[in-house]
Structure 1
Amino acid sequence: MKNNVKLRRLKSGLTVRKLAEISGVPASTISEIENEKREPGVAAAIMLARALRCNVDGLFVV
């Protein structure tokens, strides 16, 4: 699944560690999602979208 997590994170000026802190999603999971090695669950997708202040469909492309 394609995603815009890294792009949104960088535009927000956040490190992976800081996004993890804000969102509650582990940094290792965020890194795997950004590198398309893992697909997020619904809860993680929502948590990341909230932390990045966007819609889930703005982060992930099916």
Structure 2
Amino acid sequence: MVSKDWTTEKVIAAANHLASNHNGGKLPEKGTITGTYDGVRVIAQVNHGEIVSIYPDAKKQPSKK
């Protein structure tokens, strides 16, 4: 089941968590990273080592239990 109850705040929190915990806090110079935090799965685009775009991954949200 796809969870659709994520909010903007949860998406941003997930991206911040991903940025600080990805590869020891080091983001790639360029590319896409994914991760889950607080029940929200996000896709983040990275350019010059910084997140430039964040998208909730609507197809792969964790199931509610």
Whether TM-score is above 0.5 comes out as no
Task: Pick the structure with more strand per residue.
Answer: 2
The structure richer in helix per residue is 1
Higher CA-based Rg = 2
